Structure formats: C-alpha cells, structure tokens
Amino acid sequence: MALLLLLLLFTVSAVSADEGAFIGVNIGTDLSDMPNPTQVVALLKSQQIRHIRLFDADRAMLLALANSGIRVTVSVPNNELLGVGQSNATAANWVARNVVAHVPATNITAIAVGSEVLTTLPNAAPILVSAMKFIYSALVASNLDKQVKVSTPHSSSIILDSFPPSQAFFNRSWDPVMVPLLKFLQSSGSPLMLNVYPYYDYMQSNDVIPLDYALFRPLPPNKEAVDSNTLLHYTNVFDAVVDAAYFAMAYLNFTNVPIIVLESGWPSKGDSSEPDATLENANTYNSNLIRHVLNNTGTPKHPGIVVSTYIYELYNEDSKPGPVSEKNWGLFDANGVPVYIMHLTGSGVVLANDTTNQTYCTAREGADPKMLQAALDWACGPGKVDCAPLVQGQPCYEPDNVASHASYAFDTYYHKMGMGSGTCYFNGVAAVTTSDPSHGSCIFPGSGGRNGTFINGTTFAPSSNSTVAGSAQRFHVDVRSYVAMGILVWIAVFL
C-alpha cells in the first residue's frame, strides 16, 4: 500500500522542468576564416548554447557535436531539395548519411527541409511536401520519427495582411502547398517553422512601424497596436508576426500546430542606406528577444504557449554577398569575440559572457500552490535535488510554506543545471530573479559562492499535504521512468 501511494505520488508529480522555451543559434559558415568544428563546439559550450541550427548536415560538424549534449537541427539545403523530393530512395539515402549515421551520439532533433522554398525557390514548391514525407518515412523506417521532427522554414512574407493579425492569411497562391503541408505537420506532431525579421518589416514599412515597436521597447499607450477584431494589444512586431501565423493557420482550420521561430535577429552594422543596423539596436533587439522568449510569455493570442527561437546568427559572415548588413548579423566574430555584450540580466545564462549578474530561480508570485507542490515534489524526486535542508530542524525549513520550499528546490535545480535556458520553468510556476532569496542560515545556491551540491544523505521534501488528486491531469507524465525512480526512492527511504 505504501509503495502504491508512493508510486502514485511520483507519477502524478512529474513536471518536466525542461518544457520551457529555449533559445538556439543559427550557424552560417560563409566566413573567410571559418573556425573549425572543434573551435565552434568549444565556443558553443563556453557560451552555454544548447540548441543550434545548421544550414546543411556537415559531417565534420556533426561529428564534433557528438556527446556535447547540444541539440541540433540539420537542414536539407535548397540545392538538394529537388533530388530528395523526387525520389524516395534519395531521401532515404540522405537520412541514412546525415541523420542515422550520427544519432544518438549527436542529438539531432529536427530536419529543416529546404529554406524559404515558396519565396526563394518557387519551382520546387510542388515537391516540397513529398520531400518532407519521404524524409519522414525514412525516419519511421529507422524508428527515429518520434525524436526527429520534420518541417520547413517559411519566410513570414507568405503571410499577407499581417496586421491586424486576426485578418492574416497565407498567400492564397500557396494553398495547394500549405494545406497538405499543415496536414503533414499536424499528423507528424511537428512545428511550423517561421523566420521572423522585424528588422525587414520595419525597413520596408516606410516609417509606419516605429523602431521601438520593432525593438521590443516600451511604447506609449496611444501608440500600442490594438487588433480591432480581437482587442488584443501588441507591444512588439515579433508577437504580431507570430500571431499572424497562428491566425493564418486557423484560417485554413489548423489550430493545433505549434510555432518555432527558426531565424530572428538584427544586424549590428550597415551601409549608409541602413542607418538602423547598429550595434546598439542589434544588442537591444537580441537582448529583448531572448528575455521575451525565455520568460515563456507566449503571444497575445496564445499567452503561455512557448515560442522557442533560434537567433540569426552565431558568427558574422564576412564572405556573404550583398549589403554590409548581410555580413553583420552575428553575435561573435571569427575569433569567438562577442560583437557586443548583451543585457540579459534576469533571463538566466544563455551566453556566459552576458551574465555578470547573479540570478536565482524562485516560485512565481501568486502561483497555484498545488502546482508548486507538484513541481517541488518533482524537483526533490526525479529532479534529484537534495532537499535535506527543507526538513524540519534544517536551515531552510522556515518559513514552512510551499512557495518558500519550492523556491529553494527550484534554485538548487537551476544551478545544478548550470542555469541553462529552460531550467527555470517548472510548468510556468518558476521565474528567474536577481535578488538573493537567502535568509538567515538558509543560503540559496548561487549566493555567496555556495553551489547546489549538498550535504549529508538524501531525503526528499516533507510533501506537505501533497494530494494525489488535483494535479493529475495537469502534467505530462512518463509513467515508466518514474515508476522505476519511485521504486529506487522507496528502497532508499524505507529500507
């Protein structure tokens, strides 16, 4: 009976702390002195970048990424798309060579099939969906279809009438492609990939779009954009474009396809016709974008629905043709020196150099106590946080309430995970803060140099009034792994 209860407790309290949005980075390679793959991976690690997108499936790069823990989106370049879309065998071969050969050592999580095909390679549009389906069936044949998503990134310019967002629709010429494409994404559980460039929206708007609105800067209330159909307020271009995509999908009756932004950024330098491509604007845009995404705010249409985003891009690509701005979208130069130091206080570590300030992860104010309790149970159980200091008589027992205990456990987990993006989420009940929550003899990890590894024996938090009912439907539950975990803990506690 005790075992059964314990198992139930563990199965229902399994909150995945990793469900929050993440920030990734695109890696273009058009540099005159492109660092070698080992150097690239060293930079990614030192900057704690855990999600990347490659524009191809370069073998040396994929080998260098092996066992790094970094999640990788690979791409079928446009010049290989026709072959893949016309032949199942070519697609199967592509997957064998570029995916099967590298997993699981290299954690390939998605394949971007082509790039902005409808707008840059419209003659390949008729075979785009077959290419995706061929790739997908090759993944199914290798039993990789659950862990590797298949999608294709679109330019946001295929969305017409995008303000107000509620009136947006995909360019109707592309309905014969978009409808089967969305059906495929829906049935395979893959996201719509969207490239969102408020810089270009702003540049092309003839001063209709204020710069502040593109840069996520606060607007005076009278300048805030309001969608007159939905009365939703828009405070930045990024959210408006993402919502326009949701509405455009809904217009075609697709309401459950998530969105991932595969490219977004701002150039730090331009020629005389690009006066807003500046260091300061690039820093402001990317800093605000990262804060916005990692806050798990969602958009006005779908608050709280995360929109993970890949920044364009890691390096300045000096060999790119075109205007000066084309060569200056990077966060780093070829030597790995940052082009600018972002202002990321309060968003956790994404880029090691950005966070000179210490951050902590604590319970969100006003969070539902039941959800906090479930998250606390998860942290002290499957999350492997040592919650001994929360036991009666130990330094962090007082104040004895769920928010205070959860804060301690969240912060310990967050520091144990290197303050990585997505590790201060706990189904939305946790938030990053800069004020040190330590009190009395209760020292929080991250404070005064002490870290998250703890002391003397394992026990888990007094599950104060933890109820099995109530939180059961709220969380994703992987019964199998936590049953195993439950048994281990049971043995540890009761033997």
Ligand X SMILES: *[C@@H]1O[C@H](CO)[C@@H](O)[C@H](O)[C@H]1NC(C)=O
- The residue range among 73-81, 101-109, 204-212, 477-485 that interacts with ligand X, by the rule CB under 6 A, is 101-109
* DSSP state letters, 42-57: HHHHHTT--EEEESS-
Helix (H, G, I), strand (E, B) or coil at 148: coil
Residue 120 is a binding residue for ligand X (CB under 6 A): no
Residue 345 is a binding residue for ligand X (CB under 6 A): yes
Residue 16 is a binding residue for ligand X (CB under 6 A): no
The nearest distance, CB 56 to ligand X, in angstroms, is 20
The phi, psi pair for 338, rounded to 5°, reads -65, 140
Of the candidates 263, 274, 317, 398, the residue annotated as catalytic is: 263
Residue 173 is a binding residue for ligand X (CB under 6 A): yes
Binding residue (CB under 6 A) for ligand X from 36, 46, 120, 319: 46
Distance between CA atoms of residues 481 and 122, nearest Å? 46
Structure tokens at 325: 């701005």
Told to judge if 116 belongs to the known catalytic residues of this protein, a careful annotator would answer yes
- The residue range among 31-39, 277-285, 335-343, 481-489 that interacts with ligand X, by the rule CB under 6 A, is 335-343
Nearer of residues 63 and 160 to ligand X, judged by Cβ:
160
Tallying the residues shown for the chain, one arrives at 495
Contacts of 322 (CB under 8 A, 6+ apart): none
Tell me the torsion sign for CA atoms 389, 392, 398, 403.
Answer: positive
* Residue 2 burial (CB count, 10 A): 9
Nearer of residues 45 and 320 to ligand X, judged by Cβ:
45
Distance between CA atoms of residues 230 and 247, nearest Å? 11
Q: Considering only residues 129-148, where is the footprint of ligand X by CB under 6 A?
A: 137-138, 141
The nearest distance, CB 229 to ligand X, in angstroms, is 18
Residue 206 is a binding residue for ligand X (CB under 6 A): no
Of the candidates 19, 80, 116, 224, the residue annotated as catalytic is: 116
Which residue number has the CB closest to ligand X?
356
- The residue range among 162-170, 191-199, 337-345, 476-484 that interacts with ligand X, by the rule CB under 6 A, is 337-345
The nearest distance, CB 393 to ligand X, in angstroms, is 11
Nearer of residues 159 and 270 to ligand X, judged by Cβ:
159
Residue 356 is a binding residue for ligand X (CB under 6 A): yes
- The residue range among 219-227, 260-268, 290-298, 325-333 that interacts with ligand X, by the rule CB under 6 A, is 290-298
Question: Looking at the DSSP assignment, which residues form a beta bridge with residue 27?
Answer: 54
Alpha carbon separation from 15 to 7, 12, 261, 423 (Å, rounded): 15, 8, 25, 12
Residue 126 is a binding residue for ligand X (CB under 6 A): no
Residue 453 is a binding residue for ligand X (CB under 6 A): yes
Nearer of residues 320 and 447 to ligand X, judged by Cβ:
447
Distance between CA atoms of residues 361 and 363, nearest Å? 7
Residue 338 is a binding residue for ligand X (CB under 6 A): yes
Residue 297 is a binding residue for ligand X (CB under 6 A): yes
Residue 352 is a binding residue for ligand X (CB under 6 A): yes
Nearer of residues 11 and 347 to ligand X, judged by Cβ:
347
Distance between CA atoms of residues 124 and 490, nearest Å? 58
Distance between CA atoms of residues 384 and 61, nearest Å? 33
Query: Of 351, 352, 310, 417, whose CA–CA distance to 71 is shortest?
Result: 310
Binding residue (CB under 6 A) for ligand X from 78, 171, 186, 433: 171
* Residue 304 burial (CB count, 10 A): 10
Question: Looking at the DSSP assignment, which residues form a beta bridge with residue 225?
Answer: 234
Residue 447 is a binding residue for ligand X (CB under 6 A): no
Binding pattern for the stretch 211-250 against ligand X, x by CB under 6 A and - elsewhere? ----------------------------------------
The nearest distance, CB 420 to ligand X, in angstroms, is 11
The phi, psi pair for 193, rounded to 5°, reads -95, 130
The nearest distance, CB 231 to ligand X, in angstroms, is 18
Distance between CA atoms of residues 334 and 315, nearest Å? 6
Binding residue (CB under 6 A) for ligand X from 7, 54, 92, 430: 92
Residue corresponding to tokens 């929109």: 307
Q: What's the half-sphere exposure (Cβ side, CA atoms, 13 Å) at 192?
A: 31
- The residue range among 23-31, 306-314, 350-358, 475-483 that interacts with ligand X, by the rule CB under 6 A, is 350-358
User: How, if at all, do strands 259-264 and 192-195 pair?
Assistant: parallel
AA identity, residue 281: N
Distance between CA atoms of residues 340 and 377, nearest Å? 40
Question: Looking at the DSSP assignment, which residues form a beta bridge with residue 52?
Answer: 25, 72
Residue 69 is a binding residue for ligand X (CB under 6 A): yes
Question: Looking at the DSSP assignment, which residues form a beta bridge with residue 442?
Answer: 439
Give catalytic residue positions. 116, 263
Binding site for ligand X (CB under 6 A): 46-47, 69, 71, 88, 92, 104, 107, 109, 122, 137-138, 141, 160, 171, 173, 252-253, 291-292, 295, 297, 337-338, 343, 345, 352-353, 356-357, 401-402, 449, 451, 453, 455-456, 464-465
